Structure 1
Amino acid sequence: MMARHPLETTLILLIGLAIATLIASRSVPVAWLSNVVVLALAALKGRWILLDFLGLRAVPAIWRGLVSAWVLGVASFALAASIARLLI
C-alpha cells in the first residue's frame, strides 16, 4: 500500500472540518457560541490551506507568524462583528 501524500491528508482533514463546521452551526443552541466554534474552525482551515497548499510551511518562521496573525485577525474581526450584531 502506498503512503498518502501530505496534501491528501490535509485535504481529508479539511473535508472533515467542513463537515464539523456544518454540524456545529446547526447543533450549538447558543448563537454566539455557535459563531465562536464556526469561526475557530474557519481560522483553522484557513491556516492549514495557507501552510500546506500555498507552501508556507517551508518559509521562515516570521512569514508563517505574520500569515497566521492575519488569519487570526480576520477571524477575530468577524467574531467581534457577529457578537456586536447579536447585542444590537
Structure 2
Amino acid sequence: MVRDRLNVAWLQLLALAIATLAAASLLPSRWLIDAVVLSLAMAKGRVIVLEFLGLRHAPALWRGLLTTWLAGLTMLAGLAVALRAMV
C-alpha cells in the first residue's frame, strides 16, 4: 500500500518535471515561464513533503508549517527572479 503511494508520487514528480521542461520551452514570455516553473517547483516540493517525508498523516500543524515554509521559499525565489529582471 505504501509502496503504491510512493510509486504514484514518483510518477507525479516525473510529470511535474516534464511539465517544467515543456513550460520552459513553449511559453512565450519570460515572466510567465518563471511563474509557472516556480509554481511547479512548489507543487513538487509539496509532493515530497507529504509522501517522501511521510507527513501526509502528520498533525495538521506540521503540514501547515512545512507548506508555509515552502510557499515562503517559493515567494523569495520569485522575488529574486523579479529583482534580477529589473537589474
Normalization by structure 2: what TM-score? 0.93
1:30-82 per-position Cα deviation (integer Å, ceiling 9, x unaligned): 11110000000000000110110110111100000000001101110001110
The offset of 1:27, in angstroms, is: 1.2
Structure 2 partner of 1:8: 7
1:24-43 equivalences under 5 Å are 24-43=23-42
Gap regions ≥5 residues in structure 1: none
Structure 1 partner of 2:21: 22
Q: Percent same amino acid at aligned positions?
A: 46
Query: How many angstroms apart in 1 are the aligned matches of 2:49 and 2:39?
Result: 15
Structure 2 partner of 1:48: 47
How many pairs does the alignment contain?
A: 85
The offset of 1:83, in angstroms, is: 1.1
Structure 1 partner of 2:64: 65
